[in-house]
Amino acid sequence: MPPRLGRERGQLGEAGPRVCPRRTMGSVDDSLDNLVLSARARVLADLVARHQATAVAVSALEEACASRQWWAQQWPEGDVYVAGLVAQDVQDALFEKVGRWPMCLECDDGPVHSLYIQPDLGGPDPVWVCEETGEVAAALGHLSR
């Protein structure tokens, strides 16, 4: 296996923080890493689906994953909330930096509005919900264009 070139888990490099699974077979760290990587994949799929997988968005996603990994280490019973909380963290970060995401594409009438994650704490089984109608738009990780 090639050397890691000085980039260890949790260190910042030119591309920002890296969330990489540890190589300890069957440990709690593996389970936690898989949980965070799964949440990352689901949110990234939604960013890609809505053409928002920009450097700013992916950096926000990486920061959210690192933060929620620490959070999940502190509260192991909260693992079902991680994916939805990562999505909410990214949504909040993007709102501050570039504007609302994801936008509702289903409603033709009324003002332009966003989707939000429900349940509020993000899990279990988080879904994107229209803020105007309250209708489920998609499960987290399954937004369409």
pLDDT in tens, 44-78: 999 999 999 999 999 999 999 999 999 999 998 99
DSSP structure string for 43-73: HHHHHHHTT---HHHHHHHHHHHHHHHHHHH
Is residue 103 situated within a structural domain?
Answer: yes
Residue 121: exposed, middle, or buried by beta-carbon count in 10 A (0-12, 13-18, 19+)?
middle
CA distance 129 to 114: 9
The boundaries of the domain holding residue 102 are 27-139
Between 9 and 54, whose confidence is greater? 54
Between 138 and 3, whose confidence is greater? 138
Between 38 and 29, whose confidence is greater? 38
Return the pLDDT at 108. Answer: 86
Is residue 12 situated within a structural domain?
Answer: no
Is residue 11 situated within a structural domain?
Answer: no
Phi, psi of 13 (to 5 degrees): -120, -170
Is residue 127 situated within a structural domain?
Answer: yes
Between 90 and 122, whose confidence is greater? 90
Is residue 6 situated within a structural domain?
Answer: no
Is residue 62 situated within a structural domain?
Answer: yes
CA distance 81 to 122: 5
Return the pLDDT at 83. Answer: 96
Q: From residue 33, give the alpha-carbon distance in Å to each of 67, 69, 119, 139.
A: 12, 8, 23, 22
The residue type of 98 is: V
- What percentage of the chain has pLDDT greater than the value 70? 80
pLDDT at 1 over 80: no
pLDDT band at residue 122 under the 50/70/90 scheme: confident
How many domains is the chain built from? 1
Return the pLDDT at 145. Answer: 79
Count the Cβ atoms, other than its own, within 10 Å of residue 25.
Answer: 6
Is residue 16 situated within a structural domain?
Answer: no
